[in-house]
Chain A
């Protein structure tokens, strides 16, 4: 039975096997014993594979024993928006600068997590990044990223 849990264990097993096989493709793999750079990783990856198999077996047994599905996330969409907003925040950090990208992230994250009080959202989105800009750029004199658009902040 394929559940979210068994899929993850299977993915980890496949990644472990893939990395283990990769150690044989490296040019220096044939160096002897402890001198070989892949000597220690191979031991670890062998352990990884064994543990991933055990984890997969345990998950399959559990999935059979439990009737019904594992509890699902009620707020998947909020998590996804948070993940995308964080990735976007990082992507925009150097282009828009710290203040604007942080404010944009704050608005997105707060609205996604159910906040509806506009004043609270606006105040938080301006005050928290603003306070950090003042602290880092002016007090600690360790500048945060600044964009050509918002250089004056």
Chain B
């Protein structure tokens, strides 16, 4: 991959490349700061507009929005005590108390430095770890790929908040939706009921926007809409002085390590990392009694970890083609829409693209510092915007986005249908990320299973005998699936 870096740099240091990085980071920070949008909705909303771009700028724009939005969530967490993204929920605990005592600028300064440190470290980990993992995965045949995708699907267990059964059912629905349309081996139409537009299947983009963005709008409309929030006094980010870092570097290193480690695990997510890191900092910090009252150690723990997750989550996504969380599932969908097949050959077949993504991700995290300082001041007044205006704007942007891709009104119908079904399912406790993960991984799972069975003359037992990698992956998948049962048994015993 190192050989591809000069080509990647040539791709990045063009007017389009740099514009995409700057614009994406700016947009990400603003969208992340607006409560209710969040990283997944932000990425889903911008996704259609990337389809006119070439592969590298399109993916980089989404990654910039992802990294920017995770950081942007801290702006509203500190200034209005409402996390812009779930990842920043732990930031409220110490960020807002600091802001209340007139130190909003300083709180955001600590958050910014911790975010940049977390993001940069995870970018380095991504650059060095992903190629090793991808090189190993090149030995995979259809059976190993099937076992790998199965392991990837087990991240549904982790992203199924509330009910595991409902999460698995949502994943199953997603897998089934991916089957609608032409059969990948014989080409026969399946589940189209004679309706011609369904022959090419459900448009992934319309479904993603429907279940994430539109269903979020309907969910928020169904609750009492917030009135404008009051803003604490804020005149810009104040970076902490070097002397103030004394005794806090260790905490930053620990939170970044927690974020990177958790990010690599499929489905665990930045919110979990932020809370685990916060709990660890509270346990080990010499200033633990100040936690919850505006202690910078708490801010460092939360923001260092949640930004470190971004690079970690990209490792299984880029190296193995299995998503680390809902946002990376949308990114895999983007790759598919751009004609790049996600999977174990992703890095081998597209070295320049992947190198550009890795280097671009590093640059994005460097830019978080100046752009964060610039945008937080501009974005602060936006936080007072009434929610109903924001929701109406989201619907208009969703319609523009989906229509703009193919100019096909049928895609808009799919979006609205997915939005309404998503709203009804979410209302009854069905998580939506499993549905999209199922839809993204479905085609690879089906093809690898059927190819594997054809190779083994229909023998399922041959999937495990004499294939150590597949066996280990399948055992890991079983382990992941049984984790909730183990937790349940342990909690009952306690």
In the bound complex, CA of A47 to CA of B191 (Å): 17
Residues from chain A with a CB closer than 8 A to the CB of B169 are 12, 48, 51-52, 55
Let me know if A21 is at the binding interface, CB within 8 A: no
Let me know if B157 is at the binding interface, CB within 8 A: no
Q: Which of A114-143 contact B (CB under 8 A)?
A: 114-115, 120, 124, 128-129, 132, 136, 142
- In the complex, are the beta carbons of B186 and A35 less than 8 A apart? yes
Residues from chain A with a CB closer than 8 A to the CB of B404 are 136, 142, 144
Residues from chain B with a CB closer than 8 A to the CB of A114 are 225, 388
- In the complex, are the beta carbons of B163 and A41 less than 8 A apart? no
| Candidates B183, B190, B388, B399; contact of A115 at CB < 8 Å | B388
Give how many A-B residue pairs fall within 8 Å (CB-CB): 149
| Candidates B188, B222, B403; contact of A28 at CB < 8 Å | B188
Given A8-B428, A48-B173, A98-B400: A83 and B420 interface contact (C-beta under 8 Å) = yes
- In the complex, are the beta carbons of B165 and A58 less than 8 A apart? yes
Residues from chain B with a CB closer than 8 A to the CB of A9 are 428
Let me know if A31 is at the binding interface, CB within 8 A: yes
> Smallest Cβ distance from B320 to chain A, in angstroms?
21
Q: Which of A67-94 contact B (CB under 8 A)?
A: 73-76, 78-79, 82-83, 86-87, 89-90, 93-94
Least CB separation from A132: chain B residue: B400
Residues from chain A with a CB closer than 8 A to the CB of B225 are 113-114
Complex A-B: 25 CB contacts under 8 Å: A22-B191, A26-B188, A34-B458, A41-B179, A44-B172, A44-B176, A51-B165, A51-B172, A58-B165, A73-B427, A76-B222, A78-B221, A82-B221, A83-B218, A86-B214, A86-B419, A87-B416, A90-B413, A93-B399, A105-B392, A109-B392, A113-B225, A115-B389, A132-B400, A142-B52
Interface, chain A (partner B; CB < 8 A): 4-5, 8-9, 12, 19, 22, 26, 28, 31, 33-35, 37-41, 44-45, 47-48, 51-52, 54-55, 58, 73-76, 78-79, 82-83, 86-87, 89-90, 93-94, 98, 102, 105-106, 109-110, 113-115, 120, 124, 128-129, 132, 136, 142, 144-145
**Known contacts A31-B186, A76-B222, A82-B395, then 9 further A-B pairs from the complex at CB < 8 Å, ordered by chain A residue:** A37-B183, A40-B446, A48-B169, A51-B165, A55-B166, A79-B218, A83-B416, A86-B416, A113-B391
